[in-house]
């Protein structure tokens, strides 16, 4: 694969299937933000974390890459003239979402119930996790916006919604693992 093609030098890029769009196109923003999220998840995986979490994050990174390919394929290019699907890969499925839910449930067994909102921070690894959660929510918002313009597989929307939940619970778990303290948000009341 050649790294530079010079085809994007004038501010456009090709979607899967060849359609050229401006680099600020909402579809590009959506899968570009998913790619940004993937980088932050890699940063979390590079921290001192347990094997199960590391393996789960690697699985998630692969799923985000798959979703990026799905998002890079406009609806009109999903099926080839032969009738075959353009993407010859396993795409996101209900099982991927169920996996995230099972991981959330597993982690929550070891956490105290929440009684307040929590301020991000307490440990560098926890902070990286909260940043990833925020980027995930931004990706989700962009995918919802894209879906208002062109149909997006509903499972992608569900996956990102559940992934941000997973990242929040993971931040709580990493707080415990790193013997850090959760700082509750206590709103100040007007006197």
Give per-residue pLDDT as tens, 99-114. 999 999 999 999 999 8
Residue 48 within any structural domain of the chain: yes
Residue 115 within any structural domain of the chain: no
> How do residues 144-189 score in pLDDT, each as one tens digit?
999 999 999 999 999 999 999 999 999 999 999 999 999 989 888 8
**Please, are residues 171 and 126 in contact by the beta-carbon 8 Å criterion?**
yes
Structural domain containing residue 102:
16-77+91-110+127-181
| CATH number of the domain that residue 140 is part of | 1.20.1200.10
Residue 188 within any structural domain of the chain: no
> How do residues 17-64 score in pLDDT, each as one tens digit?
667 776 778 998 999 999 999 999 999 999 999 999 999 999 999 999
Distance, CA of 63 to CA of 93 (rounded, Å)? 10
Q: Which residue has the higher pLDDT, 80 or 168?
A: 168
> How do residues 82-93 score in pLDDT, each as one tens digit?
666 656 667 889
Residue 134 within any structural domain of the chain: yes
Residue 121 within any structural domain of the chain: no
Task: Give the chain's domain count.
Answer: 1
SS3 call for 41: helix
Burial 14-41 (b: 16+ CB within 10 A, else e): ebbeeeeeeeebebbbbbbbbebbbebb
pTM attached to this predicted model? 0.89
The β-bridge relationship of strands 183-184 and 20-22 is unpaired
Residue 118 within any structural domain of the chain: no
Number of Cβ atoms within 10 Å of the Cβ of 160: 27
Residue 69 within any structural domain of the chain: yes
Residue 25 within any structural domain of the chain: yes
184 burial level (CB within 10 Å; 0-12, 13-18, 19+): exposed
Distance, CA of 121 to CA of 181 (rounded, Å)? 9
């Amino acid at each position: 694969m050649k790294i530079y093609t010079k085809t994007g030098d004038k501010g456009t890029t090709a979607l899967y299937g060849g359609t050229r769009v401006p680099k600020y196109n909402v579809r590009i923003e959506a899968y570009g933000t998913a790619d940004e999220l993937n980088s932050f998840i890699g940063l979390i995986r590079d921290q001192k974390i347990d094997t199960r979490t590391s393996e789960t994050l690697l699985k998630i990174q692969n799923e985000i890459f798959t979703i990026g390919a799905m998002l890079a394929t406009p609806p009109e290019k999903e099926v080839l003239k032969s009738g075959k699907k353009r993407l010859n890969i396993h795409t996101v499925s209900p099982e991927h979402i169920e996996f995230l839910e099972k991981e959330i449930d597993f982690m929550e067994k070891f956490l105290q119930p929440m009684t307040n909102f929590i301020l991000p921070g307490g440990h560098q690894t926890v902070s990286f996790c909260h940043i990833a959660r925020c980027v995930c929510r931004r990706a989700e918002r962009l995918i919802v916006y894209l879906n208002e313009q062109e149909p997006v597989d509903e499972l992608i929307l569900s996956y990102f919604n559940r992934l941000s939940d997973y990242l929040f619970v993971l931040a709580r778990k990493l707080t415990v693992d790193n013997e850090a303290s959760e700082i509750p948000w206590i709103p100040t009341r007007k006197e």
